[in-house]
Amino acid sequence: MNLNKIKELSKRHPHWAVVFVVMFALIFYWGIWAKGRYVSEAHVVIDSPQINMQTMNITSLLSGAASAGDLLLLRDHMLSVDMMIKLEEQLSLREHFTGKNIDRPARLSGIDVPMEKFHAYMLERIRVEFDDYAGVLRIQAQAYDPVLAQRITQTLIAEGEQHMNEMGQRLALEQVRFIEEQADELEQRLFEARDNLLAFQNEHGLVSPSGTVEAIFTTVAELEAQIAVLGARDKALADFQSPTSPERVRLQSELRSLREQAEIERAKLASVEGNALNRLSSEFETLQLRAQFALEMYSTTLAALEGTRVEAARTLKQISVLQQPSMPQYRSMPRRAYNITIVLVFGIFIGAIAHLTRAIIRDHRA
């Protein structure tokens, strides 16, 4: 087919000419001009310790896999602007991707491009996919140097693990700090309640007013029993002895003494002046309840503190690498054959649509 023939066909079917020019340019780019990129890949999961306080053992510390939510959080961080900043600081990616040996369409436009453009560019070179079925995070990093591609993947894993730990530990430490403050406050309340109880005991010279009250009740009951026995005897003697008989006089004297002693003991229990044992016992029981409540609150807080510290250990995340970041041996990107096939298929498809459209238009005009 000579040049005139080609020109004639181009005039008759200009759409095919455009399609073939575009297809040739893209095939030339994907087949020859585009420089290949190395791809380093790694597969990771997240493990966290599961600690059972009732059965504390080494197995419980080492077992337990993190949820899918943790993997998604890790994926989001790996693709974030913060991660790109860390990669740039450690690996100087801008300098690498603006190299003159890279074809211009795939090259970073400048070493001082805004972070937004750099981030968007790197998202085309870094892929982090979550496999929901296997519960695995698949990481791919592309670069024009195999060592750099591997280092990008390694940095993503290391920085991602550090970020997950910092995020979990920050909340856990805040909780521990809050409970420690509460424990200190409750400890002071416990010491204050204990000191008040001791001061009360020292002031009134009683270790346990409640015990003293019980002892007095026992004494009064014994006195009442003796009074009842002597009263019965006196009533029995009254039938055949005069009130002035020596035995009845002795019984009457004993009864008076017992009744006076019983009244004295009862007076200790209750008094209008307010120094009676019943009031002291009530105040003592109140102080004792406060001290007991403070002790229980303090014990509960200490248990919660230890539990929170153990929970803080569970927030540690360890990235388990199922496949270590690979050292690529050949340039696997871009996929030249795939891209050229796509260009051919879509080019012919678009050209056919344009050809059919022109034919329909001509038929309507005719």
Q: Is 334 found in the same domain as 244? A: no
Q: Is 246 found in the same domain as 164? A: no
- The reply to whether 358 falls in a domain is no
For the stretch 212-236, pLDDT in tens is 666 666 777 777 777 777 777 767 6
Q: Is 328 found in the same domain as 277? A: no
For the stretch 135-188, pLDDT in tens is 899 999 999 899 999 999 999 998 888 888 777 676 767 777 777 777 778 778
Residue 50's pLDDT is: 53
Residue 58's pLDDT is: 36
pLDDT beneath 50: ranges in the chain: 1, 51-65, 271-274
Residue 153's pLDDT is: 92
Q: Is 139 found in the same domain as 77? A: yes
Q: Is 123 found in the same domain as 211? A: no
Residue 78: name the closest of 312, 325, 330, 332 by CA.
Answer: 325
- CATH number (domain holding residue 268): 1.10.287
Q: How many domains does the chain have?
A: 2
Q: Is 171 found in the same domain as 318? A: yes
Residue 56's pLDDT is: 42
Q: Is 250 found in the same domain as 168? A: no
Residue 313's pLDDT is: 60
Domain span including residue 116: 34-177+314-345
Residues near 169 by Cβ (< 8 Å), separated by ≥ 6?
Answer: 312, 315, 316
Q: Using alpha carbons only, what angle is made at residue 153 by residues 160 and 149, rounded to the nearest 5 degrees?
A: 155
Beta bridge partners of 136: 131
